[in-house]
Amino acid sequence: MNIQPAQYHRSTKEWHHLIGEKGRVLLSTKVEVSSPELEDYLPYSYLIVKLNNGKKVELMGESKTDFEIGDSVELELRKAGEVSSSSVIPYCLKAVKLD
């Protein structure tokens, strides 16, 4: 995954408002085949979550966890890939099942 620092900052600058937020799964799609950079996470679920504050977000669920519509989740950070000593450490949001 190759991303420039400024591009990464712009795409993630609102995440600090979402960390720790809780909500319910509206839609879950299980992914079992993916591109090489995401193979370590397989299988994973791609989710649409309605947060308790009413906002809807799209994100990956915790790897190797099955999600169903209505499951309670909490949003956390996940390191997204391998990094070298001179690269930006990429993070993404993930949903962790609470029930």
Listing DSSP states for 16-51 in one string gives: GGTTT-EEEEEEEEEE-S--GGGGGG-SEEEEEEEE
When pLDDT is cut at 50, 70 and 90, the band that residue 73 belongs to is: very high
> Can you give the pTM of this predicted structure?
0.75
**Taking a C-beta distance cutoff of 8 angstroms, is the pair 32, 81 a contact?**
no
Residue 23 has pLDDT above 80, yes or no: yes
Q: Which residue ranges make up each domain of the chain?
A: 5-97
**1: three-class secondary structure by DSSP:** coil
Q: Please tell me the distance from the alpha carbon of residue 22 to that of residue 74, in angstroms, as a whole number.
A: 4
Residue 9 has pLDDT above 80, yes or no: no
When pLDDT is cut at 50, 70 and 90, the band that residue 70 belongs to is: very high
CATH of domain 5-97: 2.40.50
Give residue for tokens 């308790």: 52
The pLDDT value given to residue 2: 53
Average pLDDT, the chain: 83
